Amino acid sequence: MRVGIVCPYAWDVPGGVREHVSGLAEALMDLGHEVSVIAPADDDAILPPYVVPAGRAVPVPYNGSIARLSFGFLSAGRVRRWLKDGNFDVLHVHEPAAPSLSLLACWVADGPIVATMHAALPRSRALHAAGPILASALEKISGRIAVAEAARSTLVEHMGGDAVLIPNGVNVGRYEKAEPLPGFPGTGGTLGFLGRMDEPRKGLDILLAAFAQLAAERPGLRLLIAGRGDPDDVLSQVPAAYRDRVVLLGEVSDDDRVRMLHSVDVFCAPNTGGESFGYVLVEAMASGAPIVASDIDAFRQVLRDGKAGELFETGNPAGLAAAAGRLLDDPAHRAALATAAAAAVRELDWSVIARDVVRVYEAVVPAAGRVAVAL
């Protein structure tokens, strides 16, 4: 099968949707399918051979974050040319309601279209007002997938219709083994955080407050942080006495991302909301890192109601500090959580998830011919 996949977000910016698209594309190719991905990217960007650049991305506020999207005549022209050259059996768009390439692709394509919803969006006047405009594109979609119940609810509330639930996948084998970063995790214990440091809903400020509480009682404890953001702003939130125990890696490569997850005693996910799934959790689970996470719906589902990771009251630094402290003091419990997480995450391996996605493709392809460019 020839599959065209549309990623709405900039390829050079790490994020759950981009990780999902790349993992799915590679898993589909492993199954013998031909795959091409189009994504916002500069023409001179270093990309995998299966990714086609759609031009430079523009930062736009979206779902409590700053998303880097492509939209306009140049992007529309490139999407149209990619569709014509690809001669795809099925087009798979991600986040079709976002003002980016997926929406453009729906507008200009005819034929079998599958859409995956990732975001958990609150009720939005903007989305409601844009309903008639979106409808002209979304009505072309033949099959709908949601990565979690929260994403499915968003689809039902804002756009109508329903979707089959197929969660995010992860290449478990890629995460299982890696050398820790030099000097980690160390004898005093290490907490870890992975995500955009300057995005409020990722909750780094909550973790920094919790770390300050723990650091006062644990002289050797360190905090390892990877992700984009202003280091000075982060360190300004930490008492001066503990700043030398906060290690900021900045944005890391895919390989160092895995090494970072193998460098911590407890991985912390203090997100405050806006997550429909929690891709960073499945990465940590596949890496064998014991997890403490906010008790939001998406995380509770991924962590099997606390069986595969500790949950704490969302937004409560004291609750995070208490949960992390218990795990730091109990190696046996950390090992038990890691074992439970490893078993749970195997059900999310791309070798399993990709086959579920293919079944959706197979359901919509017989209903129409190849994907064509609308006149």
Question: What is the tens place of the pLDDT at every residue in 72-127?
Answer: 888 999 999 999 999 999 999 999 988 899 999 999 998 999 999 987 766 555 55
**Domain spanning 172-347 has what CATH number?**
3.40.50.2000
CA angle 208, 324, 196 (to 5 degrees): 40
| Percentage of the residues of the chain whose pLDDT score is greater than 70 | 93
Range with the largest mean pLDDT of 3-17, 94-108, 123-137, 239-253: 239-253
Residues with Cβ within 8 Å of 372's Cβ and at least 6 positions away in sequence, in order, are 83, 109, 110, 111
**Predicted pLDDT of residue 28:** 98
Ranges of beta strands (E only) in 271-316 are 291-294, 310-312
Mean of the pLDDT values across residues 258-283? Answer: 92
Domain limits, the chain = 2-169+349-370, 172-347
Which CATH number applies to 2-169+349-370: 3.40.50.2000, 3.50.50.60, 3.40.50.300, 3.40.50.880?
3.40.50.2000
Q: Which of these, 202, 233, 208, lies nearest to 223 by C-alpha position? A: 208
Q: Which of these, 201, 250, 242, 247, lies nearest to 16 by C-alpha position? A: 201
Each residue's pLDDT tens digit, 325-342: 999 999 999 999 999 999
Residue type, 31: L
Residue type, 329: D
Distance separating alpha carbons of residues 239 and 95, to the nearest angstrom: 40
Distances (CA, A) of 184 to 216, 221, 235, 291, 348: 20, 11, 20, 17, 28
Mean of the pLDDT values across residues 209-225? Answer: 97
Place of tokens 């064998």: 288
Place of tokens 């293919």: 358
- Whether omega for the bond prior to residue 239 falls within 30 degrees of 0, making it cis, is no
pLDDT tier for residue 283 given thresholds of 50, 70 and 90: very high
Residue type, 133: I
DSSP letter for 181, please.
Answer: P
DSSP letter for 343, please.
Answer: H
Q: Which of these, 17, 3, 63, 94, lies nearest to 280 by C-alpha position? A: 17
Going across the sheet that includes 164-165, the strands are 51-53, 34-39, 2-6, 90-94, 113-117, 143-146, 164-165
Place of tokens 């911590």: 264
374: left (phi over 0), alpha (psi -120 to 50) or beta: beta
pLDDT at 237 over 70: yes
Distance separating alpha carbons of residues 174 and 156, to the nearest angstrom: 35
Q: Which of these, 291, 302, 234, 303, lies nearest to 261 by C-alpha position? A: 291
Q: Which of these, 104, 93, 112, lies nearest to 21 by C-alpha position? A: 93
CB 219 within 8 A of CB 188: yes
pLDDT at 128 over 60: no
pTM of the predicted structure, to 2 decimals: 0.83
pLDDT tier for residue 373 given thresholds of 50, 70 and 90: confident
| Percentage of the residues of the chain whose pLDDT score is greater than 90 | 72
* Equal fold, 2-169+349-370 vs 172-347: yes
